[in-house]
Amino acid sequence: VVPDARRTLASLADQWRSCTDCELGIRRASYDHFKFVVGEGIRRGIMLIGDGPAERDELTGRPFQSDAGQIIRRILEQLGNPPAYLTNVTACRSASHRTDGEGQPLFTRTKTPLPVWKDEPLQMGHATACRTRIEEEIYLVDPVVIVVLGQTAAESLLRRKVRIQTSGMNQPERLTIPGVFSRAVLTEKKQAWFRKQEGKWVAPTEQGEVAYYALPTIRPDWARRKLADRGPDNAFRRLFSDIRSAVRVYEQHQFMLTGVVPSGGSDATFEALQAALATEKES
Ligand code: SF4
């Protein structure tokens, strides 16, 4: 199915909001206070894709609210707040019922006891179930460059093995998703995407492919765990540098389009932020 470029991101979210296509949605739908997590930010800039929502995300319905997610928000701030859009491979949280030392399920000590949950890593099956949603979200956001946070997220999107390293730059990969063949038409003149057929304006139905650059990098929770590591190959430094590379790609793109380099902080360095985040984590 060719995604419909006339759709809004809000209508895409509405379509999936009550989805129970995988067990993550079945768990979410079983509790009124758990929310489907909708991507947020600015289109046609840098799109950052994590593996899935964490606890604070599913309570607020917003992505990148956890301590690890906040690292990404702080890095973007340090880089001068480039136009960015944040989302995840799955829109529902992957979690399991936490147990005590004897394997007994734990519950809150509230009037109505509720299960205590712990985050689980992204599973390929859940990523596959949510794939059409994230692909259509990418298509509608139409980013200049994508940063994929973590190996599982990257492998699920790229459908191949991906090696993420902390020593040396990670390399952008070509990500193709279903869409209208001509990106220029879609991006610059959305109306031109329609054509007249027997007196009516209709959307094209032929299947095409749209390609994006996707840069796989370190998971933010891993970078957070390694904040105390100040060696030359530390995980936070790599995450920061890869996002900074994506910002530079965006700046070059803007320069080619407009002849103006966006004002921002892409030359910012990671040391001060790493030190500040490490102190906050300790306190
Ligand atoms: S993670 Fe995606 S596929 Fe699974 S239930 Fe949620 S919205 Fe549906």
Question: 90 in ligand 1 pocket by Cβ < 6 Å?
Answer: yes
Q: How many CB atoms lie within 10 A of CB 103?
A: 6
Question: What's the rounded mean pLDDT across residues 209-236?
Answer: 91
Torsion angles phi and psi, residue 57, rounded to 5: -65, -45
128 within ligand 1 shell (Cβ under 6 A): no
Q: Flag whether pLDDT at 193 surpasses 80.
A: no
Report the separation in Å between the CA atom of 189 and the middle of ligand 1, taken as the mean of its atom positions. Answer: 32
Which atom number of ligand 1 is nearest to the Cα of residue 19?
8
Strand 40-41 and strand 84-88: pairing?
antiparallel
- Say yes or no: CB of residue 91 within 6 Å of ligand 1: yes
Query: pLDDT value at position 254?
Result: 86
Q: Name the residue with the closest Cα to ligand 1, atom 4.
A: 22
Dist. CA 41 → ligand 1 center (Å): 21
Cite the beta strand spans of the chain per DSSP E. 40-41, 46-50, 84-88, 95-97, 117-119, 145-149, 173-179, 195-197, 200-202, 208-217
Which residue owns the Cα nearest ligand 1 atom 2? 130
More confident residue, 154 or 263: 154
Does ligand 1 have an atom closer than 6 angstroms to the CB of 154? Answer: no
Q: Is 153 in the pocket of ligand 1 (CB under 6 A)?
A: no
Contact 16 CB / ligand 1 (< 6 Å): yes
DSSP, collapsed to helix, strand or coil, labels residue 277 as helix
The predicted pLDDT at position 114 comes to 87
Cα 59 to ligand 1 centre (Å): 16
Q: Is the dihedral of CA 161, 164, 170, 176 positive or negative?
A: positive
pLDDT of residue 195: 45
Please report the pLDDT score of residue 179 as a whole number: 73
Closest CA to 45 of 87, 92, 12, 89: 87
Using the predicted structure, report yes or no on whether residue 267 has a pLDDT greater than 80: no
User: Does position 203 have pLDDT exceeding 60, yes or no?
Assistant: no
- Ligand 1 atom with the smallest distance to the CA of 22 is 4
pLDDT confidence band for 60 (50 / 70 / 90): very high
Q: What is the pTM for the complete model shown?
A: 0.88
pLDDT beyond 50 at 191: no
Q: Are 262 and 254 in contact (CB under 8 A)?
A: yes
State both tokens at 137.
């979200």
The predicted structure's pLDDT at residue 36? 97
78 CA → ligand 1 middle, Å: 32
